[in-house]
Amino acid sequence: MLRRREFLHRSVAAAGATLFTKKFSSPFFAPASSADSRIEIVLDEPLGVISPNIYGHFTENLGGVIYDGIWVGEDSKIPNVNGIRKELIDAMHLIKPPVVRYPGGCFADSYDWRDGIGPREKRPRRTNFWAGEESPSAPAAHKYDPNQFGTNEFVEFCKLIGSQPYLAANLRSLSAEDFYRWVEYCNSPQGSTTLADTRAAAGYTDPFDVRFWGVGNESWGCGGNFTSQEYAVEFRRYTTWVPAYGRTLSFIASGPNVDDWNWTRGFFEELVRKGKSQIRSVYGWALHHYAWNLSRGRTQDWNQGKGDATNFDSVDWYELLREGQRMESLINGHWQIMAENDPEHSVKLIVDEWGPWYKPGSEATPGDLLEQTPTLRDAVFSAMTLDIFNRHPEKIAMANCAQLINCLNSLYLANENKFCVTPVGHVFAMYAAHQGGQAVRCMFSAPDIHYDRDGKPASFWALNGSASLHDKSLVITVVNPSVSESRETQLVLHSAKIKSATATVLTHSDIHAHNTFDQRRAVTPQTKNIDATTGTLAYTFPPASVTKLALELA
């Protein structure tokens, strides 16, 4: 049973503040006097520049992500560009994808990059890391990697969508030399090495110029079951004297699972045992957090604790968001521990796997491993997570949503010639406007949401978001997580006037709403102009919604 509590109004130090009003040009606008919530934007309190790479993606050779999702092959009847699904390329142009991680995930630590270069017809078939998890009906390509999509095709994909590649190297089952050779294959100048010639023979004379290199993945688990100290020793070894070809390589170390503080502390303590300067070898510390446990405290069992992607009640809705909200304390907690050995914070956090993880059953293509159907709940979750990243621009250098297509928190679903953008994909399109913006402080005041968690009271915040500024363009993104209550809100903007404004809203009357191959536009954002005349800007955020307010300042 949901109930609302009295709202505690936050006082506003508004000396010199300019307040603006708008007329009510849509059902989402309400008189300022009825507002029970407030958003204050403090333009002269910059938090840092939002790295575009926070809006990054992840594509693992897992289930239908690569084969069917991205790669359809040059001879396919499915429209493609050099073998890559054209509809995906076109859709991705709308989200300005800055960076894509590949080939895993756990797959990365079983992958030999050499299998995926050279003439495609000569490439070997190998057992995929995930083969044992695949259903008997899964396509052969999902179990036995045909290696038709390798480094060349991945870099081609990145070029077509305007992204930078982020390659995850195999630390568990290949040597440091193999890692150097992969760097050499990708980055050595034309004609300089045998591997540069091999690359040229495939049609790529210019170096790929790959900057981001992951050194193992989940090295505490599938990536080798190391202790944090053992992993730090390996990290030092793998990253010492890697050929750079005149560019800076940014090494990303395999960081903690969720709140494994010991992994973070142990790694950095061991790393600097060889001297403080070792810190400089790490560009990013990779944190993974999946929101999976919807058991309401009943179990920590990985299989038992998961919820259903499309069949859920309002308590499940809030429980998922609570799991996701943990991201903020994980960022702060690991950041603090990193400071023990890196007080200047030269190492940044890279959240290179995040999203909800449900039990099987909602696959758009039955049999696709780890595929789930994202609903409006996942859109709200994703917006909330991106807002968290935006609020910590000095800490987060990159984040990669897991995973791009036909997988966990996917932006797209595809099967053969069918394709759709999920509500999560729409959130990425809405939030692209934050990329590279100056994050500014914004304060949200709203009555908390209260709900009954199996006989015990539980609560969740009622309005939150982030704001960023590009010159005179201010973008404010706001999540209203309530399944039933709209939020009548006053927007207060310190030291600026609004010239014009639009609101883009993603919501639906059914919290389970999602897009399918047949109903591709069930959940789509709507954009409206806001009449931004003088006075106080009032706006009503509908229940279960993600909103982007785009303001042009005078």
Q: How many residues bind ligand AHR, per CB under 6 A?
A: 10
Please state, in angstroms and as integers, the Cα–Cα distance from residue 233 to each residue in 173, 265, 281, 341, 355, following that order.
16, 14, 12, 16, 30
Segment contacting ligand AHR by CB under 6 A, of 23-31, 98-106, 294-302, 476-484: 98-106
324 binds ligand AHR (CB under 6 A): no
- Going by C-alpha positions, the residue among 337, 323, 340, 434 that lies closest to residue 387 is 434
Q: Can you tell me the distance from the alpha carbon of 82 to that of 260, in angstroms, rounded to the nearest whole number?
A: 42
Give me the least distance between CB of 140 and ligand AHR, in Å please.
20
Nearer to ligand AHR, 408 or 549 (CB): 408
User: Among 46, 236, 82, which residue's Cα sits nearest to residue 161?
Assistant: 82
CA torsion 363-367-370-374 (nearest 10°) is: -10
The smaller minimum CB distance to ligand AHR, of residues 57 and 120, is found at 57
**349 or 402: CB nearest ligand AHR:** 402
Closest to ligand AHR by CB, 342 vs 352, is: 352
Of the candidate residues 92, 158, 402, 523, the single one contacting ligand AHR (CB under 6 A): 402
Contact call for residue 39 and ligand AHR (CB under 6 A) = no
Rg (C-alpha) for the chain, rounded Å, is 24
Shortest reach from residue 256's CB to ligand AHR, in Å: 12
Q: What six digits make up the tokens of 403?
A: 């995973």
The answer to whether 270 contacts ligand AHR (rule: CB under 6 A) is no
Instruction: State which residue, 29 or 102, has the beta carbon closest to ligand AHR.
Output: 102
Integer Cα distance of 333 and 337 in angstroms: 6
Closest approach of ligand AHR to the CB of residue 409, in Å: 9
List the catalytic residues. 218, 353
DSSP run (H or E) holding 352: strand 348-356
Query: Torsion angle of alpha carbons 71, 74, 76, 80, nearest 10°?
Result: 70
Q: Select 104 or 266, whichever has its Cβ closest to ligand AHR.
A: 104
**Rounded to the nearest whole angstrom, what is the least distance from the CB of residue 212 to ligand AHR in the complex?**
16
Part in contact with ligand AHR (CB under 6 A); list of ranges 100-108, 156-164, 448-456, 538-546: 100-108
CB of 218 to ligand AHR, least distance (A): 5
The residue type at 405: I
Find out whether 255 and 214 touch, Cβ atoms under 8 Å.
no
- 331-390 residues in contact with ligand AHR (CB under 6 A) are 353
239 makes contact with ligand AHR (CB under 6 A): no
Rounded Cα gap, residues 318 and 128, in angstroms: 36
- For helices 314-341 and 376-390, angle between their N-to-C axes, nearest 10 degrees: 20
SS in 3 state form for 300-326? CCCCCCCCCCCCCCHHHHHHHHHHHHH
- If binding is defined by CB under 6 A, does position 69 make contact with ligand AHR? no
Q: Which residue is nearest to ligand AHR (CB)?
A: 105
Q: Catalogue the E-assigned strands of 432-535.
A: 438-445, 449-453, 456-460, 464-470, 473-480, 487-494, 498-506, 526-530
**Least spacing, CB of residue 248 vs ligand AHR, in Å:** 26
Nearest to 489 by CA among 474, 479, 499, 475: 479
Tell whether residue 104 is a contact of ligand AHR (CB under 6 A): yes
CB of 382 to ligand AHR, least distance (A): 15
The reply on whether position 128 binds ligand AHR by CB under 6 A is no
> In this chain, which of 61, 187, 188, 217 binds ligand AHR, going by CB under 6 A?
217
Contact with ligand AHR (CB under 6 A) among 68, 218, 319, 488: 218
If we measure between CA atoms, which residue out of 223, 329, 226 comes closest to residue 270?
226
Q: Report in angstroms how near the CB of residue 320 gets to ligand AHR at its nearest.
A: 17
C-beta of 20 vs 129, nearer to ligand AHR: 129
How big is the chain, counted in residues? 554
String of contacts with ligand AHR for each residue 43-62, x by CB under 6 A:
-----------------x--
Specify the stretch interacting with ligand AHR by CB under 6 A; choose among 236-244, 306-314, 400-408, 425-433.
400-408
3-state SS of 75-122? CCCCCEECCEEHHHHHHHHCCCCCEEEECCCHHHHHCCHHHHCCCHHH
Cβ closest to ligand AHR, residue 286 vs residue 320: 286
Residues forming contacts to ligand AHR in the complex (CB under 6 A) are 60, 104-106, 217-218, 353, 402-403, 408
